[in-house]
Amino acid sequence: MPEMNTKAMYKLSYGLFVCTAVDGEKKNGCIINTAIQVASEPNRISVAVNKANFTHDMIKKTGACNISVISREASFDLFKRFGFQSGRDVNKFDGFAPSSFDTAENGIPFITEGTNAYFSLKVESEVDLGSHTLFICEPTFMTVLSDAPSCTYEFYQSDIKPRPEKVGVTPAGETIWRCRICGYEYVGEDLPDDFICPICKHGKVDFEKITR
């Protein structure tokens, strides 16, 4: 019998998306890897959004969002802008070039640079999944923006994310926890369960233990 190996989780394939929402004057968005067509008749797209994301609360309140499909031409800056900071603290559209996004018919922005398609979604039902809410949505609009191939999570890891920054020389055999999302390294045998990456704000689950 094979042994249990939780690295199997990394063998699942994912796309990457900017999920945007608007509540009153507030425009916001976050990076997700969980937009999936889950039915064809009628066409339904599900998105799972982490409850820690401000965008989550905005979708829950307004019942609408847009999904921009990230392409291989996206820059790391797009991930930093929408993934490594919170809309609770900053306006993620501040300083974002006007040529990088546009506003859809539903009043919600979509990203035009480093993306190849977008969908306007209306929430039809939702499922509480603990860390995330699964929103099952009806697409009210969709269009193609570019012929560039879609960016998978694997491509982000291999070609977009910068090489990990070394934390300096550590004694041989020292344990390091490396953030799989942004490459941040934490030196120490034990990473606290409530540790939050200071760069990209992801939790312990996204750190891998390495030894050098």
Report phi then psi at 16, rounded to 5.
-130, 140
- For Fe ion, which is the closer residue by CB, 121 or 181? 181
Residue 10's SS3 state is: helix
Query: In 3D, which of 156, 208, 142, 150 has the Cα closest to residue 178?
Result: 208
- For Fe ion, which is the closer residue by CB, 58 or 200? 200
- For Fe ion, which is the closer residue by CB, 191 or 199? 199
- For Fe ion, which is the closer residue by CB, 128 or 193? 193
CB of 167 to Fe ion, least distance (A): 13
Q: Strand 185-187 vs strand 207-211: parallel, antiparallel, or unpaired?
A: unpaired
CB of 169 to Fe ion, least distance (A): 22
- For Fe ion, which is the closer residue by CB, 159 or 208? 208
Residue 27 CA, chain-centre distance (Å), reads 17
Distance CA 90, CA 87 (A): 5
Distance CA 207, CA 212 (A): 16
Distance CA 204, CA 193 (A): 6
Task: Note the residues at the interface with Fe ion (CB under 5 A).
Answer: 179, 181-182, 184, 197, 199-200
CB of 24 to Fe ion, least distance (A): 31
Distance CA 110, CA 65 (A): 9
CB of 179 to Fe ion, least distance (A): 3
- 121, 65 Cβ separation under 8 angstroms: yes
- For Fe ion, which is the closer residue by CB, 30 or 200? 200
CB of 137 to Fe ion, least distance (A): 29
CB of 203 to Fe ion, least distance (A): 9
Report phi then psi at 171, rounded to 5.
-60, 145
Q: Strand 175-179 vs strand 109-111: parallel, antiparallel, or unpaired?
A: unpaired
